[in-house]
Amino acid sequence: MRRVDFPAEEEFLSSSPEETARIGEETGRRLQPGSVVALGGNLGAGKTVFAKGIAKALGVREEVTSPTYTIISEYEGICPFYHMDAYRLGGDEEFALLGGEEPLYGRGICVIEWAERLRSLPEDTLRVEITILEGGKRRIRRLAGTGSPREGGA
């Protein structure tokens, strides 16, 4: 069972990359093998920082970097951690051709940056939207069990 019990919607305010990573880490501690996290937000919003926090909670010891050019990076922790980036993809078909669907339904935890570019994500996907605010702060919204992000969303 991959369902993790998160409230339908939660909102956090982050004043630094360290706080964003801590919110990611808290999120990661609550995930179970099979969980999928869809990250959305503008360039520089903090998606990779949030993913690094999740990785830390999962015991990943390697340096987690943005998978923009590799598309899918796999790390070892308490379970496999898949860090994916859909920014350069043309959609679900290209994602599937690159082998992206297999980890989505496996025993690891998947975090997908720019997930709004994909339409077919598991129904119980946890969506996280990060918005840049004035003064460099970030608003982080966790939306539980919302499936695919809205087309063209943040």
Mean pLDDT, residues 78-107 taken together = 80
Q: What is the mean pLDDT of the chain?
A: 85
Chain position carrying tokens 């695919």: 148
Instruction: Give every CB contact of residue 27 below 8 A, 6+ residues apart in sequence.
Output: 37, 50, 53, 54, 57, 126, 128, 142
Q: Which domains does the chain have, with CATH numbers?
A: 9-109 (3.40.50.300)
- Residue 147's pLDDT band (cuts 50, 70, 90): low
Q: Which two tokens stand for residue 40?
A: 């959305």
Q: What is the mean pLDDT of residues 129-140?
A: 96
